[in-house]
Structure 1
Amino acid sequence: MTTAECLIVLRRRWYLALGGLVVTAFLTFLLVGRPGVYTSRVDVALVAPRSAEQVTDTTLVDQSESLIATAGLVERLVNANTETSAATSQEVSLASTGVRDGTLVKLPNSGGQWDYNFTAPMLSVQVVGPDADEVLVHRESAVRDIKRELRRIQVGTDPDQRITTQEIPVQAPVTYVTGHVSRVVVGGLLTGGLLTLALTILIDHRLTLRRQRRVHARASASVA
């Protein structure tokens, strides 16, 4: 269907288009007025054991890769009973994905969803929720889970050989964030406008077919 044909349909079914635009504007207004959420992030870095401090340049890379592998194992253990999404860029925050209440423990991926590149032995803990105190509680709980699983996989290891953790920052803040109003408005109006156009064309097509069938039936009855 050409642009001119779409305009003709919209003109003929202007009441449908107007109704769709009113609904779109109302829903967009509700989205803009939706309250924000509280969020907090802390990175739990895995620190090599003290016995590994005296390393040479040739073993430094292997040690880093070993720590990254351990971080990946801890991530899987912590998320064993949790459904998680595919790894995405580490620049994408949990709140920006639309989650309003949840916890995410991930090994940061400096690549992309289809190009994994894990370069740091640390686990990112992100928490989103409607209440600041609850966010803090869930964040601390996730950090404890990480430390517990790390201790569990090192049972029987000499204390000097154990990997430890360090939280970055030590006191992670809890912040209140809201969505980007301009993006919400543009996205809502664009989506609503396209849906309105599609529904208007669909309804017009069905009404036109119904009218044609009635005309054909009357013509057939007249001939008979």
Structure 2
Amino acid sequence: MNLPEVLQVFRRRWWILLGGFLVTALVAWFWAARPPTVYRATEVFAVQPPQTPDIRNQLAVLRPSVATFSAGVAQRLSSPSGKEDLRRAGVTGTYVLTPRNSGTRQTPEYLISSVQVTATEADEASALRSLATVTAAFTRELGQLQDASNIAAGERITITMLAAPDAVKLPNSRVRALGGSLLLGGGLSLAAAMWADEFLLRRRRRAFSPEPVDA
């Protein structure tokens, strides 16, 4: 389909384009031009192996195991079942657990295995509350896995806060939100006009096509 044919389609289905552009304008005015306020809370905690000379905790025999172990807990909480559990616990926004460690390819000692947790909510109090809920869930999962291995209290992997919880307001870009809404709405309106034109023309051809005559 060349450009003149596309323009003819738009002329025939101008009413679809008009309706789509009106809906796009309303969405842009009432939503994109007034983006919601969003807060993101962040904290970082270290995942520490047992502080004993003779480590009997098989989950923490080597420091890389501690990093791998904490990454497994983070992955469990990021899974669909983990997200559902946290939703029931009151986390309504989004959250991310990012395992980190101090090792590199040259010196992979993994001296400090840590996890950064972020929670995004509509207000500061909710963001901090969700952050605390996610951290509590991580601690609980950590304990349950060690309970299953019958790890003694003094030989357990623990967490220690490295960066206290803090919430900041995320910047809003009205221009970017308006531009994205107009671009998406305009594209969908053009696609809807072309699809409707093809559908209506096909139905019209079937309605006016002669029925086959039996010999």
* CA separation of 1:37 and 1:158: change in aligned 2, threshold 3 A: closer
Residue 160 of structure 2 aligns with which residue? 166
Structure 1 position 201 matched with structure 2 position 194: yes
TM-score normalized by structure 1?
A: 0.65
Q: Contact 1:41–1:126 at 8 Å: present in 2 too? A: yes
Q: Contact 1:103–1:138 at 8 Å: present in 2 too? A: no
Structure 1 position 150 matched with structure 2 position 145: no
CA–CA distance in structure 2, aligned partners of residues 108 and 75 of structure 1: 7
CA–CA distance in structure 2, aligned partners of residues 14 and 158 of structure 1: 73
| Correspondence 1:128-139 to 2 at 5 A | 128-139=120-131
Q: Secondary structure at the match of 1:25?
A: helix
Structure 1 position 127 matched with structure 2 position 124: no
CA apart distance, 1:197: 1.1
Structure 2: 5+ residue stretches without partners: 54-60, 85-90, 102-109
CA–CA distance in structure 2, aligned partners of residues 109 and 146 of structure 1: 15
Q: Tell me the percent identity.
A: 26
| Correspondence 1:6-155 to 2 at 5 A | 6-32=6-32, 33-51=34-52, 63-75=62-74, 78=77, 81-83=81-83, 101-102=92-93, 104=95, 106-108=97-99, 121-152=113-144, 153=146
Q: Could you list the per-position Cα deviations for residues 80-104 of structure 1 after superposition, in whole angstroms to 9, with x for gaps in the alignment?
A: 84248xxxxxxxxxxxxxxx93353
CA–CA distance in structure 1, aligned partners of residues 21 and 46 of structure 2: 50
Q: Contact 1:68–1:121 at 8 Å: present in 2 too? A: yes
CA–CA distance in structure 2, aligned partners of residues 5 and 83 of structure 1: 49
Q: Contact 2:100–2:115 at 8 Å: present in 1 too? A: no
* CA separation of 1:64 and 1:6: change in aligned 2, threshold 3 A: farther
Q: Contact 2:13–2:193 at 8 Å: present in 1 too? A: yes
* CA separation of 1:197 and 1:51: change in aligned 2, threshold 3 A: same
CA–CA distance in structure 2, aligned partners of residues 158 and 13 of structure 1: 72
Structure 1: 5+ residue stretches without partners: 53-61, 85-99, 111-118
Q: Contact 1:101–1:130 at 8 Å: present in 2 too? A: no
The number of residue pairs the alignment matches comes to 185
* Letter of the 2:166 counterpart: P
Residue 183 of structure 1 aligns with which residue? 176
Q: Contact 1:28–1:189 at 8 Å: present in 2 too? A: yes
Q: Contact 1:39–1:175 at 8 Å: present in 2 too? A: yes
* Letter of the 1:108 counterpart: P
CA–CA distance in structure 2, aligned partners of residues 209 and 78 of structure 1: 51
CA–CA distance in structure 1, aligned partners of residues 196 and 77 of structure 2: 51
CA–CA distance in structure 2, aligned partners of residues 214 and 78 of structure 1: 57
Q: Could you list the per-position Cα deviations for residues 6-55 of structure 1 after superposition, in whole angstroms to 9, with x for gaps in the alignment?
A: 11211233232222112112112233124222220112221233336xxx
